[in-house]
Amino acid sequence: MKYTLNDFDYHLPEELIAQQPATPRDHSRLLIYNRKDQSITDDYFYNIGKYLPAETSLVVNNSKVEKCRLLFNDGKIEIFVTKAVNDKVVEAMVRPGKKFKVGKTAQLTDQVTAKTINIAEDGIRTIQLSHSLDDDAITPFKHTPFPPYIERDESLADRYQTVFAKDSGSKAAPTAGLHFTDELLTKLKDQGIQKKEVTLHVGLGTFAPVKADNIDEHIMHSEWYQITSKQATELNASKNITAVGTTSVRVLESAVNKDGSFEPCTGDTDIFITPGYQFKSVDHLITNFHLPKSTLLMLVSAFMGFDETHRLYKHAITEKYRFYSFGDAMLIL
């Protein structure tokens, strides 16, 4: 069946967009969906061990969110770093655009300037900063890149990182992992459920709006990922895989061999998973509730079925689950 963009639309009451994470982390709600009998169970994330299959491996994305949003003049000037070419030259989205014209130098603070070297067709600027990104002159202006539907609150920066984040490079959090605490991971380990790590640096392309009505025409931006030798060995020893988040799914499905095995690899993936896709490595999925018309919602629809996705989202809205990055979670068995 051919799907259009509107097939992945739904109405979400604004009050269900979570502005604050649950405290503690694992006290978010959890919707459990069993694909075999199409049953729905409502619970809390700290009880996830009751539902996970014995000896499944939890595959998490250990990428760490960078403070890549530079705000100057009380937030009136913004440089959102999408890529660091080197310690002083960056590719970035900016506002206001008129301040960043090719060949011009913008005064950001008494010390810091930014010269615009190039403007790409998509509006991304190449900018030469007067100081390196790690310089003390820039550090105070670095902010966490919260998504636009969350009010900026730097006091929540630590809560926008997973407890297993270690490899800096993401422009947004792998949000399904935000629900885990160290204590919960220890509890799961004690019952035979091991955490395995992979890395995918979440780029803005994951969240870029799909504009093509025919979703097959949408072009995904590529994102850097890695599976180390140790991680590949651990994945190959796994009897069953529960992917924590869509970013982990993207790594696993990009890196898996035809025989279902993994080898150490590093590269870029632009995999676009939509209904009809045949999963090769992922048995179960933990995920948050995603934006309408998003590539993430399409991936989830591919995993549990288009009609069932709509049914579950209606259930979640009726039961007032909290949506998006700081929202509640779903376990798809």
At 148, is the pLDDT very low, low, confident or very high (cuts 50, 70, 90)? confident
pLDDT exceeds 70 at position 121 = yes
Q: Are residues 166 and 135 in the same domain?
A: no
Whole-angstrom distance, CA of residue 99 vs CA of residue 94: 9
Q: Are residues 270 and 136 in the same domain?
A: no
Length of the chain: 333
Amino acid at 173: A
Q: Is residue 177 part of a domain?
A: yes
Q: Are residues 56 and 82 in the same domain?
A: no
DSSP code string of 278-326:
--SS-SEEEEEPPPTT-HHHHHHHHHH-HHHHHHHHHHHHHTT--BSTT
pLDDT exceeds 80 at position 247 = yes
Report pLDDT for 199.
98
* pLDDT tens digits for range 40-74: 999 999 999 999 999 999 999 999 999 999 999 99
Report pLDDT for 210.
87
What SS3 class is residue 115?
Answer: strand
* pLDDT tens digits for range 125-143: 999 999 999 999 999 999 9
Q: Is residue 240 part of a domain?
A: yes
- Give this prediction's pTM: 0.94
The pairs formed by 3-8 with CB atoms below 8 angstroms and a separation of 24 or more are: 3/215, 3/274, 3/275, 3/298, 3/306, 4/213, 4/214, 4/215, 5/210, 5/212, 5/213, 5/214, 5/215, 5/293, 6/213, 6/293, 7/306, 8/215, 8/292, 8/293, 8/294, 8/297, 8/298, 8/301
Domain that residue 207 falls in: 5-65+154-332
Q: Are residues 219 and 182 in the same domain?
A: yes
Domain count, the chain: 2
Segment holding 188, helix H or strand E: helix 182-190
Q: Are residues 288 and 308 in the same domain?
A: yes
At 207, is the pLDDT very low, low, confident or very high (cuts 50, 70, 90)? low
Q: Is residue 149 part of a domain?
A: no
Strand pairing report for 329-332 and 29-34: parallel
Task: Indicate the burial class of 96 (C-beta count within 10 angstroms; 0-12, 13-18, 19 or more).
Answer: exposed
Q: What is the CATH number of the domain that holds 273?
A: 3.40.1780.10
Whole-angstrom distance, CA of residue 155 vs CA of residue 99: 29
Report pLDDT for 211.
86
- Averaged pLDDT for residues 76-89: 94
Whole-angstrom distance, CA of residue 173 vs CA of residue 145: 9
User: Percent of the chain scored above 70 by pLDDT?
Assistant: 99
Residues 215 and 261: beta-carbon distance below 8 Å: no
- Averaged pLDDT for residues 194-221: 87
Q: Are residues 103 and 73 in the same domain?
A: yes
Domain boundary among 85, 110, 143: 143
Q: Are residues 28 and 110 in the same domain?
A: no
Q: Are residues 214 and 289 in the same domain?
A: yes
